[in-house]
């Protein structure tokens, strides 16, 4: 099987839509197959534009007769209930120690725990029909591809699968496509003005992101404030005792100034600067 791990951002959206297009034009982008399944994990705390992009992909897959699945993977509620009480999946928060020395929590297991592992289990138990603890059949050992939407500028993030069933594949890197190429394809071929996908509380967001949702999506902003105040009040169940922040400026989100938020990531498209959504 050839499976797409779909985050519904610019890159994986492009892969999903290219796959749908391959139904009609099978040699246009030979690096992208007609997927046997496209799987999206709903983290429960995505920016408002992500569900819209998910719906767009779902409609395209239905027209192309490509199976599209949505898995519920509630990172936000797990953190709200368990952070500081019991161990939770590691996120790369920004930190300050007692001497105001900056740092960062190095481990990042949230993507693996709330996306990749869930997709692997879904394929194993739901699509291939395995029972719990059943040994892999010989034909399934290394017999399936998991496609991931890292683009050319993210090639350093490409990694081999640790799961016996899968080989990881990175079609956009093979095609030499960058994020801007995915944006152009989504817009010009499908009419979709796409943005990046990452949970609202991802520490890799620029400060501009938090300002943008404050002014445009107040309910999303309220979730971010709630989460950031949780980090202010509690400590993780580990040996970390530094102050923890969502913002790379190591300020509380409520205290960010307009000057802090002048850090938007953009790329050029037809003479205009386009914000990538991060």
pLDDT band at 25 (very low <50, low <70, confident <90, very high): confident
pLDDT of residue 186: 97
pLDDT of residue 234: 79
What is the distance between the alpha carbons of residues 145 and 244, in angstroms, rounded to a whole number? 37
pLDDT of residue 106: 67
Task: Report percent pLDDT > 90 for the chain.
Answer: 69
pLDDT > 70? residue 52:
yes
Give all strands (DSSP E) within the chain, no chain letters. 2-6, 37-42, 68-72, 94-96, 102-104, 144-148, 166-169, 243-245, 266-269, 272-275
> Cα-Cα-Cα-Cα dihedral of 174, 179, 182, 183, to 10°?
-170
108-128 pLDDT, tens digit each: 778 888 888 999 999 999 999
Q: Which three-class secondary structure state does DSSP give residue 121? A: helix
What is the distance between the alpha carbons of residues 147 and 131, in angstroms, rounded to a whole number? 24
What is the distance between the alpha carbons of residues 158 and 168, in angstroms, rounded to a whole number? 8
Least confident of 74-78, 237-241, 263-267: 237-241
Give all strands (DSSP E) within 119-212, no chain letters. 144-148, 166-169
Please give the order of strands across the beta sheet that includes 243-245.
102-104, 94-96, 243-245
Q: How many CB atoms lie within 10 A of CB 27?
A: 6
Domain limits for position 259: 2-275
96-111 pLDDT, tens digit each: 988 889 988 867 778 8
| φ, ψ for residue 114, nearest 5 deg | -100, -5
Q: Total domain count for the chain? A: 1
Q: What is the CATH number of the domain that holds 270?
A: 3.40.50
38-48 pLDDT, tens digit each: 999 998 889 99
For CA atoms 267, 44, 115, 250, the dihedral sign is positive
Q: What average pLDDT score do residues 228-246 get?
A: 80
What is the distance between the alpha carbons of residues 106 and 90, in angstroms, rounded to a whole number? 9
Give all strands (DSSP E) within 7-51, no chain letters. 37-42
Q: What average pLDDT score do residues 258-268 get?
A: 94
């Amino acid at each position: 099987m050839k499976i797409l791990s779909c985050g519904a951002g610019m890159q994986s959206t492009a892969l999903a839509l290219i796959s749908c297009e391959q139904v009609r034009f099978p040699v246009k982008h030979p690096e992208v197959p007609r997927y046997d399944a496209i799987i999206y994990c709903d983290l429960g705390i995505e920016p408002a534009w992500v569900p819209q992009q998910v719906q767009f992909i779902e409609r395209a897959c239905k027209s192309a007769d490509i199976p599209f699945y949505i898995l519920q993977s509630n990172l936000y509620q797990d953190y709200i209930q368990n952070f500081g009480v019991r161990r939770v999946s590691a996120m790369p928060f920004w930190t300050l120690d007692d001497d105001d020395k900056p740092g960062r929590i190095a481990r990042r297991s949230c993507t693996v725990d709330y996306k990749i592992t869930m997709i692997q289990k879904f394929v194993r138990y739901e699509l291939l029909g395995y029972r719990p603890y059943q040994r892999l059949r010989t034909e399934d050992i290394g017999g399936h591809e998991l496609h991931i939407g890292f683009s050319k500028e993210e090639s350093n993030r490409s990694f081999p699968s640790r799961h016996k069933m899968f080989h990881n594949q990175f079609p956009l890197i093979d095609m030499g496509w960058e994020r801007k190429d995915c944006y152009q394809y989504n817009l010009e071929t499908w009419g979709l003005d796409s943005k990046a996908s990452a949970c609202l509380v991802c520490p890799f967001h620029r400060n501009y992101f938090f300002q943008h949702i404050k002014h445009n999506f107040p309910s999303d902003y309220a979730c971010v404030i709630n989460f950031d105040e949780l980090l202010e009040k509690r400590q993780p169940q580990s040996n970390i005792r530094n102050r923890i922040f969502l913002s790379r400026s190591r300020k509380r989100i409520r205290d960010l100034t307009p000057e802090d938020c002048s850090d938007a990531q953009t790329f050029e498209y037809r003479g205009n600067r386009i914000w990538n959504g991060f």
